[in-house]
Chains A and B, each alone.
Chain A
Amino acid sequence: MSPSPKLQSTETSIPNPMASPTTTPAASAAPKAKMLAEHVNFFYGSFQALHDINIEFRENQVTALIGPSGCGKSTFLRNLNRINETLRGTRLEGKILLDGADIMAEDVTTIRRRVGMVFQRPNPFPKSIFENIIYGPKINGMVKGNAAEIVEASLRRAALWDEVKDKLHESAYALSGGQQQRLCIARGLAVNPDVLLLDEPCSALDPIATAKIEDLLFTLKEQCTIVIVTHSMQQAARVADQTGFFLLGKLIEFDKTDVIFKNPAKRETEDYITGRFG
């Protein structure tokens, strides 16, 4: 496993949000692929939901997956942390690599710790804010007397610390929707994932909460690789370095965000961008 520009080793130290990885030499070189999908086909029973997907997610960059409802972007995302395995009758063909290693060959709980996920609707556990955050580190054996520091660092990374620092032991459900979603982001960050997957994280939130989370992504990408599925093209245009356009289970086009939105190569992409459908 190659050392990443961010500070943490996987077990003991807490991430330092103050570090600026962009000054390290590795980042200024051509960004390498943190995750890679090769000829991915995916089936729900006999129905083929994904056809020959080839895509790469570059380290410390935000990649957005866009496309109309039912195009397979969420399905594809859920394969990256193998959460689709919890559904019955699903089958994955092809390879998905994390740092060059096939994720299917590794222990699934390790993969899921390294590839975190934030879901469409905020889903905090019915516990206190503190307990929500520390849950991941606890089960992964990452807490060594430094629970409070882990919680504070994660909440700071999710830009939620100031708002909740005085009520860490209150129920997570006392927070607003936007705060709950940032709590879920903090919870995901607490286990120091290499990659963070966000499945339409703002679809249940108001514009102000959405803006807060989008701002978050700019700082987060310095420590993580981010993949975000979004229904909103404007959001993709705002936050993503790379964008992939899905349609009917196929990856139609994948390129720099600028290119996709200003100069798409495929006609389907252009039709979607200009609102002719979807």
Chain B
Amino acid sequence: MTARNIRRTVVNNVMLSLTGVFAFLTVTILVLILGYLVYNGVTSLNLAFFTKLPLGPGQAGGGIANAIVGSVMVVAFASLFGIPIGFLSGVYLAEFGAGTKFAYVVRYTADLLNGVPSIVIGIFAWTVVVKPMHHYSALAGSIALSLMLIPITARSTEQFLLEVPRAMREGALALGASKWKSIATVIVPAARKGILTGMILGVARISGESAPLLFTALGNQYWCRGLMDQTSTLPVMIYKLATSPYDDWHQQAWAAGLILLGLVLIANITARVFLTRGASAPKS
């Protein structure tokens, strides 16, 4: 082999190995994240952690129960608003409006909304809910999160509805079904796996968001007294605990982080595994 060819072979081997190293970096990072959370957080996980309210620094036995409940409440209401709106818009984009200019505008706007930084969404929710009401509320937080959920759900619903083969649509119509009937009884059920996965992934995503909640749900040392009250949520709690100057609160941050990440990963893994017996995953 000439010297030139030797050089080319060496470069080839080095560069290709590098790409492998980079790819396995992802595994390393994931393992590190999980490892740190488990190592630092698992010792704080006990029943009290899940059921008690937070105590002051230095006082043992506190928990994040209100944050967990708060998160569940805020995310549930956000989904209540966001999923139907997103789903029905997705149905419009794929079924009624497909190819029209108006649908193009809606799609473009949904992508635009999707790209709005979450903190800006939070500010918006503040201006339209918190400011007029003169107080922070879980409701405001839910609205902020639902604004993030809508475009995600709409686009993934559209994506999976469009994947339903034309033969199936025409088959339903040929049997005399009206358009909405064919959508409701044939097309949507055919795409239900993907649509459901998109929804689960969307909900998992907003469960981890904290920026939009900073000016809406804010936080609460005690139990939240309802939608109109401000509430603590898991991600914001983690933020506050981690940035505090107290060591035992740092401990709690790790544990809370472990819970949050655990839930998000479980949702993601379930949804994606559930989906692989079918089409591809939704485009985030």
Contacts and interface: CB of A to CB of B under 8 A. Distances in A.
Establish whether A and B are touching in the complex (CB under 8 Å): yes
A109 interface: yes
Contacts of B9: 107
B112 interface: no
A110 B9 CA distance: 11
A141 interface: yes
Nearest to B4: A141
B30 interface: no
A107 B1 contact: yes
A139 B7 CA distance: 12
Interface residues of A, number: 5
A107 B6 CA distance: 10
A141 B9 CA distance: 14
A225 to B, nearest CB: 23
B24 to A, nearest CB: 20
Interface string B1-14: 11011001100000
A141 B4 CA distance: 8
Contacts of B8: 109, 139
Question: Dominant SS at the B interface?
Answer: helix
A176 B5 CA distance: 36
A109 B1 CA distance: 10
Contacts of A139: 8
Interface in B177-225: none
A109 B8 CA distance: 10
Contacts of B1: 107, 110
Nearest to B9: A107
Interface in B1-47: 1-2, 4-5, 8-9
Interface string A104-118: 000101100000000
A46 to B, nearest CB: 25
B91 to A, nearest CB: 39
Contacts of A109: 5, 8
A166 B2 CA distance: 37
Contacts of A110: 1, 5
B126 to A, nearest CB: 49
A143 to B, nearest CB: 12
Interface string A85-119: 00000000000000000000001011000000000
B108 to A, nearest CB: 28
Contacts of B2: 141
Nearest to B3: A141
A140 to B, nearest CB: 8
Nearest to A108: B9
Nearest to A113: B5
A271 B271 CA distance: 56
B16 to A, nearest CB: 13
Of B4, B5, B9, chain A has the most CB atoms within 10 Å of the CB of B5
Nearest to A141: B4
A247 B5 CA distance: 39
B204 to A, nearest CB: 34
B146 to A, nearest CB: 44
Contacts of A141: 2, 4
Interface string A129-161: 000000000010100000000000000000000
Interface in A174-223: none
Contacts of B5: 107, 109-110
A9 to B, nearest CB: 14
A109 B10 CA distance: 13
Nearest to A139: B8
Nearest to A140: B4
Interface string A57-91: 00000000000000000000000000000000000
A267 to B, nearest CB: 44
Nearest to A106: B1
A107 B3 CA distance: 13
A139 B9 CA distance: 12
Interface string A7-47: 00000000000000000000000000000000000000000
Interface in B121-158: none
B2 to A, nearest CB: 8
B6 to A, nearest CB: 9
A109 B11 CA distance: 14
A110 B4 CA distance: 12
Given A107-B9, A141-B2, 8 more contacts: A107-B1, A107-B5, A109-B5, A109-B8, A110-B1, A110-B5, A139-B8, A141-B4
The 4 A-B residue pairs with the shortest CB-CB distance, nearest first, are A141-B4, A107-B1, A107-B5, A109-B5
8 contacts: A107-B5, A107-B9, A109-B5, A109-B8, A110-B1, A139-B8, A141-B2, A141-B4
